[in-house]
Chain A
């Protein structure tokens, strides 16, 4: 457990030594601000629904930039060799890396609280759906991060990792947007696999255990694949 925390905190701090984390944070805050305030006054309602609608989408695009280097860069520079030959297991490395980027994501989410707070000064905001929405956002973001870590474990090229992670996470987000074109049975299955479907119900204020379990299974699956990929280097 200690090793996981040590790896995680090193990863977390290293984000602040490079530009990527700052760029991602700026992009998220600016685009969120733009879309949020652009539509906010149209509805004339004190609600965070609009914010979540946009934030869910922005994160799907922005978070892979945080995960692309997690393992790919370590493989490219060779630092992975020193990390793995310390007394740690591959699972601890994966969990530590995941924890590090999760920490940064949590900081990012805390920053966005500025938006609901400013809304609440303009009207009577119902905080219930805000918290459940944040839980949904946290879970969906964690799933995107886990997928990004998995993509990063497959290559030593950050750009490839970024591209694969983007493709996968956008795919899972967009899945429920074309359902009208499909027969009902296929549509409901695809809808169930969609990130946005599970997230939107939480953003409405509904905390359903099934939605939580969905995201947790995606995270566990992606991390397990990343673990296998990291371990497979021993036998290659």
Chain B
């Protein structure tokens, strides 16, 4: 659906994007992740034909951004960063304008208007001027205008930024709903967002793509699982408890740290490979007559990977 090849963009002496290539298939929801200034917005502006790349090209639904920008724009619903809308217009008036610009007329336009207003739950503010709306409602108007012509592709630049947690979760829900039938690229620097909403993550740092994977695979790729056992201390020393788990054959390292509540202790066991050590930990606890209060398995979270990719080996400096 989206096929970007070697996209490069220079702004004067600054290189905002360097040889970025990626594909997005029909129906995928892809998260575009990176620190500010990494090139996310630049990529989106190129895909929507607002700016032209200095090198490389992209095709959207078969149309090339250079050869047929009008067809590309027809296929895309776009929500730019900060949701720029005509604040003096009424919500309905604005959506009507966008519908007409998208070539809708008469009964077809009316039906689409009703549909997007329903989809984005805008009915209560339909007669208000956009300038009066809360950020959350404004964001919905932004999504409604992007959806009005039923585009196969949606490009959303930071759709959740600046929203309070309730608004953000509503918008997230809405995007997930919309994403069932559409190809979506959304940019964000909120990692939790990506884990919840996106099936695939593209991480970009200093103009270069440094990762392209599912959130789960990324997490698995970057780090081994760790096992955290919470134990009742019962007057025993930390070293003693650590010793009890060091006997596990596949354990590479065992660390203890104080538990969240007094009288409890947590032990972190990292396996040599990718082994599941939960049974061994239970056995070790039983044979040392320790009371096991909890046991959990943790992968390295996306945040760690993100930091690693965008500051360490991904880019030259932080």
Contact = CB atoms under 8 A, between A and B. Distances in A.
Nearest to A10: B97
A86 B84 contact: no
Interface SS, B side: loop
A233 interface: yes
Nearest to B73: A87
B114 interface: no
Contacts of A38: none
Contacts of A85: 48-50, 73, 76, 78, 80
B98 A79 contact: no
Give the one of B76, B89, B97, B145 with max A CB within 10 A: B97
B88 A17 contact: yes
A27 interface: no
Interface in B16-51: 45, 48-51
B80 A87 contact: no
A183 interface: no
Contact of B101 (A7, A78, A236): A7
A113 to B, nearest CB: 29
Given A79-B84, A81-B80, A81-B84, A234 B89 contact: no
A3 interface: yes
B84 A14 contact: no
Contacts, number: 69
A89 B85 contact: no
B85 A87 contact: no
B12 to A, nearest CB: 9
Given A81-B50, A234-B50, A234-B51, A87 B103 contact: yes
Contact of A14 (B11, B88, B103): B88
Interface string A72-100: 00000111011111111100000000000
Nearest to B85: A79
Contact of A86 (B52, B85, B101): B101
**Chain B residues touching A, range:** 20 to 34
B70 interface: yes
Contact of A77 (B81, B84, B100, B101): B84
Contacts of A236: 11, 51
**Chain A residues touching B, range:** 20 to 34
Contacts of A17: 88-89
B132 to A, nearest CB: 13
A235 interface: yes
B100 A235 contact: no
Contacts of A79: 84-86
B52 A235 contact: yes
B150 to A, nearest CB: 14
A71 to B, nearest CB: 14
Contacts of A235: 51-52
B272 interface: no
Interface in A155-208: none
A85 B44 CA distance: 11
B128 interface: no
A6 B81 CA distance: 24
A233 B9 CA distance: 13
A39 B98 CA distance: 50
Interface of B: 11, 45, 48-52, 70-71, 73-74, 76, 78, 80-82, 84-89, 97-98, 100-103, 145
9 contacts: A78-B82, A82-B78, A85-B49, A86-B101, A86-B102, A87-B102, A88-B70, A88-B73, A234-B52
Lowest 8 A-B CB distances belong to which pairs? Answer: A78-B84, A17-B88, A85-B48, A79-B84, A234-B52, A87-B73, A6-B100, A86-B101
